[in-house]
């Protein structure tokens, strides 16, 4: 008789000559009787099918235990969906016991089962021991950064799992760092869904650093996180060096124009990415043009889809897109629509006062001298008619009639018929001071932006150390996984302190 941990105790009181003498249906009915639950007719009818969908059946802990008992010796089901059944950590423990014996189930969906940290500890043991699972869905289980640490350590040594869904959890900065270490060490994952978490700032940079050196992951969903411009800058480096990623979804990540422009630099040299989703980020049409231009510059680009469906484009964008598609005929760009005058910036008319100022600066003249030549009696008041006449005669200052009238309106707002240029001279001095201040502020902004980018890249390069990943044997005890290990300290992990452990190889 098979000893299957917790599940086995429900059979010790049964007068059954042989555990294997029962059919899978009989075994399930007996298990339901023992744990006192009503059998699920759908499960009974489909126990010999490859796919078992028990989502939203309200199994609870007891119902899950009966299912687990029935599946111990089931060789038919390969895809088990237990989405939204309030399994909790206790039910997960029964499933883990079952999977120690059942080597036929390859796809397991435990989405929305309130596993939390206790469940993460149990699942981590499964990941270390099980060699049959190829796909695992753990989305929506209230996992936080502490749970992420436990799971990431187990995923580091699992070499069978190919698809993993951790979406709709609560991973933040620390979780991003731990996942980065996991990606750097894992050699089997091909599809990873981390959407609808809270990965941002240093966590986003660390995750990108792990992705840079990963050579197996093909599909990555990071939508609805907080990568922002810093994370996009780190992803630029990923696009430059990663040779496996084909699908990347970073929609709804607060990536602005600056971040998208950084990504475009990666697109100029990337030869593997096929799908890039950037929609629901605050991008303008100018940035969209830069993105498709970067694809045009890359003769080796394999990009087939660029999704920026929230961006309204203009004729200039369409013209550049046509030119790009001639060189990359398989490229499809999804955009929000084409606008007419709204999408085009209105041509800004030169400020007439600014034109006069530029002329005076060029000829090293003072505003005072310019107006005093019009002021014959020295009263600092010029008749409007005389003012118009003098401006029209200034061939070096090409003001048209409307600009002259605009200037008259500004200088004679009370319609007195005269232009008082005293206040204008003082305004000119203030304007010069303001311009100097604006130049100074812009230089300061550029300097800070450069320093920030340098910090991000420095953090990116140092996020993974040679001893940055936990190495665990397949015989690691669950108690060891549950909290005795820490990832090695890096510049990203100032919230951790070094912890000596025999399982960390340096």
Query: Is residue 287 within a helix (H) or strand (E), and if so which, with residue range?
Result: helix 285-297
The two beta strands, 418-420 and 381-383, are antiparallel
pLDDT at 10: 53
Tell which phi-psi region holds residue 60, choosing left (phi > 0), alpha (psi between -120 and 50) or beta: left
- The pLDDT score that the predictor gives to residue 190 is 98
**Degrees to nearest 5, angle at CA 90 with 48 and 156:** 85
Highest mean pLDDT among 10-24, 160-174, 348-362: 160-174
Residue 123: per-residue pLDDT: 97
User: What is the residue-wise DSSP string for 242-280?
Assistant: -SS--EEE--SS---HHHHHHHHHHHTT-SS--EEE--S
pLDDT digits (tens, 9 = 90+) for 331-382: 999 999 888 644 444 455 677 777 777 777 777 777 666 776 777 777 777 7
Question: For 57, which DSSP code?
Answer: S
- The CA distances from residue 49 to 53, 66, 80, 159, 277, in Å, are 10, 18, 11, 27, 37
CA-nearest of 419, 270, 284 to 343 is: 284
Over the stretch 301-319, which tens digit does the pLDDT of each residue have? 999 999 999 999 999 999 9
Q: What is the CATH number of domain 352-420?
A: 1.10.238
Mean of per-residue pLDDT scores for the chain: 83
Q: Distance (Å, rounded) from C-alpha 466 to C-alpha 397?
A: 67
Q: With 60 as the cut, is the pLDDT of residue 109 above it?
A: yes
DSSP 393: T
Domain ranges of the chain: 352-420
The C-alpha R_g of the chain, in whole angstroms, comes to 34
Q: What is the pLDDT of residue 7?
A: 54
The reply to whether the predicted model has a pTM over 0.85 is: no
pLDDT of residue 171 exceeding 50, the answer is yes
What is the reported pLDDT for 3? 36
For residue 500, name the pLDDT band (cuts at 50, 70, 90).
Answer: very low
User: Over 70: is that where the pLDDT of 165 sits?
Assistant: yes
**Res 428: pLDDT:** 61
- d(CA 382, CA 16) in angstroms, rounded, equals 115
Mean pLDDT of 389-393: 76
Asked whether the predicted pLDDT for residue 41 surpasses 50, the reply is yes
Determine the length of the chain: 506
At residue 455, the pLDDT reads: 76
The more confidently predicted of residues 464 and 409 is 409
Is the predicted pLDDT of residue 75 greater than 70, yes or no?
yes
């Amino acid at each position: 008789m098979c000893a299957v941990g917790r599940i086995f105790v429900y059979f010790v009181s049964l007068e059954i000559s042989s555990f294997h003498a029962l059919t899978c249906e009989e075994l399930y009915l007996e298990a339901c009787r023992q744990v006192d639950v009503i059998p699920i007719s759908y499960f009974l009818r489909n126990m010999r099918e490859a796919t078992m969908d028990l989502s939203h059946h309200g199994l609870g802990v007891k119902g899950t235990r009966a299912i687990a008992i029935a599946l111990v010796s089931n060789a038919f089901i390969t895809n088990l969906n237990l989405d939204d059944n309030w399994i909790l950590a206790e039910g997960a423990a029964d499933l883990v016991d079952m999977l120690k014996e059942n080597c036929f189930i390859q796809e397991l969906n435990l989405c929305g089962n309130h596993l939390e940290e206790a469940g993460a500890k149990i699942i981590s043991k499964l990941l270390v021991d099980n060699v049959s699972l190829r796909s695992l869905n753990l989305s929506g289980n209230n996992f936080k950064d502490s749970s992420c640490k436990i799971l990431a350590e187990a995923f580091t040594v699992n070499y069978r799992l190919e698809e993993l869904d951790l979406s709709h959890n609560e991973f933040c900065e620390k979780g991003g760092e731990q996942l980065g270490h996991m990606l750097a060490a894992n050699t089997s994952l091909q599809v990873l869904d981390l959407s609808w978490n809270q990965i941002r700032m240093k966590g986003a940079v660390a995750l990108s650093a792990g992705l840079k050196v990963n050579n197996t992951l093909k599909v990555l969903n990071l939508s609805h996180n907080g990568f922002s411009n810093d994370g996009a800058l780190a992803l630029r480096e990923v696009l430059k060096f990663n040779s496996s990623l084909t699908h990347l979804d970073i929609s709804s990540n607060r990536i602005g124009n600056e971040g998208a422009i950084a990504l475009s630099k990666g697109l100029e040299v990337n030869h593997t990415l096929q799908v890039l989703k950037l929609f629901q980020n605050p991008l303008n049409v100018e940035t969209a043009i830069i993105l498709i231009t970067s694809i045009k510059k890359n003769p080796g680009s394999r990009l087939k889809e660029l999704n920026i469906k929230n961006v309204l484009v203009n004729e200039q964008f369409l013209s550049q897109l046509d030119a790009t598609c001639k060189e990359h005929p398989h490229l499809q760009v999804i955009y929000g629509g084409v606008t007419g005058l709204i999408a085009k910036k209105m041509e800004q008319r030169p400020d007439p006062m600014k034109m006069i100022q530029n002329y005076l600066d060029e000829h090293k003249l003072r505003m005072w001298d310019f107006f005093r030549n019009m002021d014959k009696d020295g009263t600092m008041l010029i008749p409007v008619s005389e003012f118009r006449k003098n401006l029209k005669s200034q061939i070096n200052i090409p003001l048209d009639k409307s600009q002259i009238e605009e200037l008259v309106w500004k200088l004679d707002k009370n319609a007195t018929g005269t232009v008082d240029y005293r206040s204008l001279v003082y305004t000119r001095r203030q304007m010069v001071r303001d311009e100097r201040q604006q130049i100074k502020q812009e230089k300061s902004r550029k300097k800070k932006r450069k320093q920030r980018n340098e910090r991000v890249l420095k953090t990116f390069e140092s996020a993974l150390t040679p001893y940055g990943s936990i190495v665990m044997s397949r015989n690691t005890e669950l108690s060891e996984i549950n909290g005795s290990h820490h990832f090695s300290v890096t510049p990203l992990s100032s919230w951790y302190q070094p912890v000596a452990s025999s399982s960390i190889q340096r």
